[in-house]
Structure 1
Amino acid sequence: MARLIDLSIDSDQVIQHLKHEVKLKTVYQSILCKQIIEKASQERGITVEPEEVQAEADQFRYDHKLESASQTLEWLEDNLLTPDDWEAGIYDQLLKKKLADSLFGKQIEAYFAQSKVQYEQAVLYRILVPYSALAQEIFYQVEEEEISFFEAAHLYNIDEYRRLACGFEGKVSRWQLKPDVAAYVFGAHPREVIGPIQSGHDFELLMVEEFIPAELTNDVRQQISSQLFDEWLESELNHLVYSQ
């Protein structure tokens, strides 16, 4: 039973809430995935040592500035966790990572070589506005050098974060963009204005600051590993569910 302030919540109430919010199936599938990971890890002799859990916990505390035991306990209590709950969660994450490395660690370089183009990156700026006519007018103004792309982004962008950042979107990989948008972006020249492109009910203009060639960095390794593992896990889950 969880207790929050002066209210008590039992497991039946949690289950009923998940049903009412149509989230019970998601939780059910998550539990099945945990069982699949545990079974596959056991079959491969994969284990997680207490020292590994402790090291991960220490890193978490450092990253979240939980500098004392009392601060950590306060954080655990605020999240309705016991120290054992927390360590069990860390154990599960480490086991999942080790299993992914065991299954797909040797396939990452080959996968990257086959899909290298998808990991090309562009440093992208974006202006999002609500009307096609306004997007077209901004396009003409920037093309005629009546205003810079950055000034226009700061004046017209309806996305507050991008408006304050003068349109800066950041580094974007080809795979993160819709295919048609990716074709526009990676077919453009640096500082060329792209668009207007319809985005839902709004319209956007794009500009590439620079292109970054694909490189198998640690982040890309992790992305590929996670993708391959998620695909494997979904396949295993479907097999388990539909074979019953």
Structure 2
Amino acid sequence: MNEILRVGNRTITADELIPLLASYQMLPQLRRELIIDEAIASVDCTREEINAAKQQFLAERQLKSEAELKAWMEYQGLSTNQLEAITLRKLKVEKFKQITWGKKLESYFFQSKSRLDKVIYSLLRTQDIGIAQELYFRIQDKEQTFAEVARQYSQGPEAQTGGLVGPVELSQLHPAMAQILMNSQPGQVVPPNRIGEWFVIVQLEKFVTAQLDDAMKMRLLNELFENWMNEQQKQMMLSANSVDDSSSFSKSA
């Protein structure tokens, strides 16, 4: 029996490890990490980059002294070499993202911009079309402000904010709502529209154009990386299924 891990009174053998990972639904994560290891194998890092990555790693975990670091490593079951490997691996992953997609960020940003733009808008919803029409005319005739009517009559959580919602990305909205707002001008009150179970009155307050700043670059890099990762995992599963099918054919032949 090949013992590889002891947890409390339980001994885990090599033969038990893969079934355990599968039962705990951890195999997809293992596959993911193996794909990453292969992808970053050729990425080189300078000593300055490695030192900076170590300092960032410690800061993110708020490890401010050697004693805190030692206690954390013991809890994680890590040796000094393993800690250095983890730090270096994270650095390599970030460099891999930059090397692979850094020059494509601007074009990807403009392709994605329509879903990244944000809106701030006022919303009033009710399930009664008659009430919706009446409230719309009150707002249009300036008998009451949108905020006053929303606080009093809106049947969603936006009533607590006088109907004000956002900023929220257009991609996060119901497609019909996003279309209404994209076709609106700031301050324009749109007549009641049916969206799902609701009749909604909407007023665009502000259109917030997405900017390719550092935070957006990081987000898009991570998005491209995850898209690539999903594709790699799909290909891995297809290859595994192909091998299984070939094996089954060989046995039956």
Q: Describe the shift of the 1:196–1:91 C-alpha distance in structure 2 as closer, same or farther (beyond 3 A).
A: farther
CA deviations 1:93-118 (Å, max 9, x no partner) are: 55443322221111001222344444
> TM-score scaled to structure 2, two decimals?
0.65
For residues 213-240 of structure 1, the C-alpha deviation after alignment (integer angstroms, 9 at most, x for no partner) is 3432223222322222221111111011
- 1:82 is aligned, of 76, 93, 106, to 76
- The counterpart of 2:120, out of the listed 103, 118, 123, is 123
User: Residue 100 of structure 2 aligns to which amino acid in structure 1?
Assistant: L
Query: 1 CA distance for matches of 2:125 and 2:78?
Result: 47
1:36 Cα offset (Å): 1.1
What residue is the counterpart of 1:207 in the other structure?
Answer: 203
The alpha-carbon distance between structure 1 residues 178 and 228, as it changes in their structure 2 partners (threshold 3 A), is farther
Query: In 2, are the aligned partners of 1:57 and 1:90 still within 8 Å (CA)?
Result: no
What residue number does 1:193 align with?
189
**Kept after mapping to 2: 8 A contact 1:127/1:204:** yes
8 Å CA contact 1:126, 1:169 repeated in 2:
yes
- Tell me which amino acid in the other structure corresponds to 1:227: E
Native 8 Å contact 2:54 2:87 kept in 1: yes
Question: Match for residue 141 of structure 1?
Answer: 138
Deviation at 1:69, TM superposition (A): 9.1
Counterparts of 1:1-244 in structure 2, within 5 Å, are 24=25, 27-45=26-44, 49=50, 51-59=52-60, 61=62, 82=76, 84=78, 94-129=91-126, 131-133=127-129, 134-160=131-157, 162-194=158-190, 195-199=192-196, 201-244=197-240
Deviates more, 1:133-142 or 1:182-191: 133-142
- SS across alignment from 1:220: helix
Identity of matched residues, %: 20
Question: Aligned letter for 1:58?
Answer: A
Return the alpha-carbon distance in structure 1 between the equivalents of residues 7 and 141 of structure 2.
63
User: Which residue pairs with 2:249 in the alignment?
Assistant: none
SS at match of 2:41: helix
Conservation of the 8 A alpha-carbon contact between 1:122 and 1:212: yes
- Tell me how far apart the structure 2 counterparts of residues 135 and 68 of structure 1 sit (CA, whole Å): 62
Q: Residues of 2 paired with 1:10 and 1:152: CA distance?
A: 66
Tell me, yes or no, if the aligned pair for 2:50 and 2:91 is still in contact at 8 Å. Answer: no
Q: How has the CA–CA distance of structure 1 residues 218 and 176 changed in structure 2, closer, same or farther, with 3 Å as cutoff?
A: farther
Amino acid at match of 1:150: A
Unaligned residue ranges in structure 2 (runs of 5+): 1-5, 241-253
Segments of 5+ residues of structure 1 without an aligned counterpart are none
Which AA in structure 1 matches 2:76? T
In the alignment, the residues of structure 2 paired with residue 144 and residue 110 of structure 1 have an alpha-carbon distance, to the nearest angstrom, of 45
Equivalent pair of 2:186/2:205 in contact (CA under 8 Å): yes
- The Cα shift of 1:166 comes to 2.4
**Higher RCO, 1 vs 2 (CA within 8 Å, ≥6 residues apart):** 1
Helix, strand or coil for the counterpart of 1:147?
coil
Distance 1:125 1:146 in 2: 17
SS state at 2:181 partner = helix
Number of residues paired by the alignment? 223
